[in-house]
Structure formats: C-alpha cells, structure tokens
Amino acid sequence: MNLEIHKPELMQRVNAHIQAGHFHNADELIEKALDALDERPPAAAPREPAPTVFEQGLGLYSSPEDAALIDEVVSIAYAERRRPSREQPLAL
C-alpha cells in the first residue's frame, strides 16, 4: 500500500520530526501515531446540549404563553418600582 500526503504543512511536520531524529522514517512515525490512538479510550458519544429550565419543567409556567404573561407582569412591576414615590410630609 502506498500512502500520499496531500497537505504540504503535514509533510513538513513529518519531515521535521524525522530530521530532528525523533523517528528514522515515516513508517516509524505512523506506527507510533497509530499506537497512541489505539491506547486512547474510545470517544464518548456526542452529548446533547443540556435542556433549558423551561424544558426541564423547573419553571413556574406551563406554556410559552404563561411565560410571556409573567414577563409582562415583571416588566410592569419594575416600571412601578422605578416610578418616584409620593413623599409624605414629616410630622414634627
């Protein structure tokens, strides 16, 4: 079997390791790389993203419409909170 390396930067890396004396030839480098792959534990299956609070059912609302209503109520409450209060005259 013949292997071809089509990426010039990969070929440069292989040659650099051989010239540095890490390996005698490309066969030795490939064998070491494959041995390292064989020693690794199998990759875990891709994990799905964690469900949102709403998807977990931990929210206080049961539907998107309920959530929108609560958002509106909270918005009104914050607006009221920012409104200046009526000052009561101090009794002396």
In tens, the pLDDT along 40-90 reads 887 777 788 877 766 666 555 567 777 788 888 888 888 888 877 776 666
CA distance linking residue 34 with residue 68, whole number of Å: 55
Residue 1 per-residue DSSP state: -
Instruction: Give me the residue label for tokens 């998807």.
Output: 55
Tell whether pTM > 0.75: no
Position 56 scores a pLDDT of 64
Q: Could you tell me the pLDDT band of residue 6, with boundaries at 50, 70 and 90? A: very high
d(CA 30, CA 41): 19
Residue 31 contacts residue 38 (beta carbons within 8 Å): no
Residue 26 and residue 14 in contact, taking contact as beta carbons nearer than 8 Å: yes
Give the lowest-confidence range in 4-8, 32-36, 79-83, 88-92.
88-92
